[in-house]
Structure 1
């Protein structure tokens, strides 16, 4: 008998508890592979996938990199493809509440049983090859999509692009969204260096989409795509424009103008995602479909019908009085605040914030203070111990800046305190912060 198959005579609750225990034990061993320094490179994952029969070659792939906007672009592309009747695999990271959120087929996360079975079966091979956590997880996702018979997969880059484990895929089209400062120790300390790493997902013969809106970065990405022989290459501001953006509580409306064969075609579209830049993110997803041509381009022309199905966990995610929005850099936090002001959420507004110490927490707190009358800084329970911010330092700085910041080390107490006298409570900062709050408040990230 398969060790993961419950015995018929065992009560369901006992069998469920055993399965849950096995799942968490498997995850503990999987996450143990995150120890030590990052090990970027494609050799191990290529070897691993070859030993698994190269499952990633059994379906077409769209590949997406970027600092900001890639999650929204993935979510939009997923909704468009599913709306057109395709069976879609979606691989993203990190997760908010449950690891299974990373590997999804048609909106359904990979089951705990399937995760446990895959990891248990292949753990000896992972150990033999020295596979890292992300390499193992990527191989599991690509294998799961093959086993599930997906029509297409959308793969989000984990870190950078050129040496990221996901760059083993051979996409029909790849996109780089907006570039920002992140993971400087691995990707470089200039926007140009970071863009160069992310441009590493462009490949010869595959379509490429350049989504960064700044001319210098945009031109550099275009040059990288052309240099490796990508084609066709579509570039925002040249091959399409986004104008007349209107943001309200129902989402974001915009005019998309596509320039093709010397002709221009304009359409008014609406995404349920809230924020000025969500119009640009949606336009990148649409450009991916246009660039891939054929049946994919036909789906792009149906966008107005299917955009209503877009959902993204943890981004302007409302469950009144709670509003959850990940902001891992100052630009992201400024976007959160702009969205709050555009939508006009009920006030007073308080905020619960926890940021990893290697992020620009000063910029994030400055941005949040523009909307919140009260900010509670705290410690997210799942934040890695070696990356937690120092609240003594945070408070000294916040007091010197005159920001309305209070310290509440206990996460559960911070959530409770934030509700006192508030009509809206924003939870923001790292994925750990938003995910931990969702778990405690029993908010399902994948619920529609």
Structure 2
């Protein structure tokens, strides 16, 4: 019988394995076998990629739910509450559901040690089965090949993009990183890549495993129009689609990946044009160019690597402010802070850098030094924490200015927690 609270379970899970991260599938496979989950009853759409995973999962989920299917979604990390990571038919899992799932994983694992992420992933799979989920959209945590999410076989797999991040785990270049992410591909099943210039390792890995590879601009296409866009793959066409509600030009590539996966699964899960339209218009996820109501304009974005920050900068340029752009910036110290700052050149008029109070967090002084190395000439003001930086930026901004909060899930999560918006889905 489960007697632990959710916070007690999370503290327990953190101590089960001595290392916070340890890639490999042996432990996960062993426990999946004990739980009879190696071949779960639900259809799995696995989403890997450097950026765009959470948004793609949100669009898959919204389209399928519009058609009335029972849908599960698994994403990470969370912004405010752990419950955000597991969604059952559009709602976050309750504390009781998570605690019961953790108890079942604990009972099944025996002497097998599990990392925090592995424990949570197994609990999510267990909850999807218990809820009678028909389709689960699963976001890879790190890489793909050795990630716990890859412990079950994907019925369709998506690699949204390949950029330079997590190099100590995935390798130093796009070829090696692409190879790791393509590890989610399976023989004879759709393998979709939305990167406009994928490394050769994507195609090589797909060929090696016998996956059915579909590449953006080779196998499936986006045609933009003034009032909407068209998706094409061979003789299949979806015309008159609305642009995604999720903001940013890059979201169209994510949407095209989602539509491709859904079309290739349509024999099992048919969707009408109305379902696709509703999903694209209703998909929502916090912290992805999330604009808060009121003045000054405040934008929250979890962009946390140079590629994601470049995409954020492009969206900000497309939607210029009437006044200045003030950046609230906190980042983890193992990220490329200088390159991320350079990506905002010409966009940010004043920086409010903040210490992240997490073991991997960079201090405000470390961030300021990285900005100096990057050649940032705009004023840089250091703050002891994200809330202090945000409050200062909001005080200094006039009605025509905008405040942009970015750099980490922790940075955005601190603001959402302060504002009482404790969910990463919607809003």
Q: Same-fold call, TM > 0.5?
A: yes
Unaligned runs of 5+ in 1: 5-18, 247-252
Number of positions where the alignment pairs a residue of Structure 1 with one of Structure 2:
418
Cα gap change, 1:234/1:278 in structure 2, threshold over 3 Å: closer, same or farther?
A: same
**Equivalence for 1:238:** 218
Q: Distance in 2 between matches of 1:44 and 1:299?
A: 40
Does the 8 A contact of 2:325 with 2:347 survive in 1? Answer: yes
Aligned mate of 1:424, from 402, 407, 418: 402
Matched, 1:442 2:424: no
Shift in Å at residue 393 of structure 1? 3.6
> Within 5 A, what are the aligned runs for 1:369-448?
369-381=345-357, 383=358, 385=359, 387-399=360-372, 401=375, 402-422=377-397, 423-444=401-422, 445-448=424-427
- In structure 2, the partner of 1:15 is none
Q: Distance in 2 between matches of 1:315 and 1:153?
A: 21
Distance 1:59 1:161 in 2: 20
Shift of 1:31: 2.6
2:102 maps to which residue? 119
Higher relative contact order by CA 8 Å / sep ≥ 6: 1 or 2? Answer: 2
Distance 1:301 1:416 in 2: 43
Which residue number corresponds to residue 305 of structure 2? 329
**2:338 is the counterpart of 1:338:** no
Partner of 1:53: 36
**What displacement does 1:125 show?**
4.4
SS of the residue 1:38 aligns to = coil
Change over 3 Å in CA distance of 1:388–1:3 after alignment to 2: closer
DSSP-derived class of the 2:153 partner = coil
**Is residue 256–residue 283 contact of structure 1 (8 Å, CA) maintained in 2?**
no
CA deviation after TM superposition for structure 1 residue 107, in Å? 1.6
Which residue in 1 is equivalent to 2:193?
A: 210
Q: CA deviation at 1:25?
A: 1.6
Aligned ranges for residues 251-266 of structure 1 at < 5 Å?
254-261=228-235, 266=239
Equivalent-residue separation in structure 1 for 2:187 and 2:117 (angstroms) = 25
- Write out per-residue CA displacement over residues 89-113 of structure 1, whole angstroms, 9 at most, x where no aligned residue: 0011111000111111122111112
Q: TM-score of the superposition, structure 1-length normalised? A: 0.87
Q: CA RMSD in A?
A: 2.4
Counting only pairs closer than 5 Å after superposition, residues 36-435 of structure 1 correspond to structure 2 as 36=19, 38-54=21-37, 57-123=40-106, 125-126=108-109, 128-214=111-197, 217=199, 219-231=200-212, 233-244=213-224, 254-261=228-235, 266-296=239-269, 298-299=271-272, 302-320=275-293, 321-381=297-357, 383=358, 385=359, 387-399=360-372, 401=375, 402-422=377-397, 423-435=401-413
Cα distance, 1:132 vs. partner?
Answer: 1.3
| CA distance 1:267–1:238, shift in 2 (3 Å) | farther
The CA distance in 1 between the partners of 2:363 and 2:43, in whole Å, is 45
Task: Report the CA distance between 1:328 and its aligned residue.
Answer: 0.9
Q: TM-score, normalised by structure 2?
A: 0.91
Spell out, residue by residue over 1:374-400, the C-alpha distance to the aligned partner (whole angstroms, 9 max, x if none).
21111233x2x2x22243343234346
Residues 59 and 279 in structure 2, CA contact (< 8 A), matched pair in contact too:
no
Paired residue secondary structure (2:211): coil
Which digits, 9 at most, give the CA deviation of each residue in 1:108-148, with x for residues without a partner?
11111222233245435446101111111110000000111
Structure 2, unaligned runs of 5 or more: none
Distance between the aligned counterparts of 1:149 and 1:315, measured in 2? 30
> Judging changes above 3 Å, is the alpha-carbon distance between structure 1 residues 53 and 135 closer, same or farther for their aligned structure 2 residues?
same
Larger mean CA deviation between 398-407 and 325-334 belongs to 398-407
Aligned with 1:256: secondary structure? strand
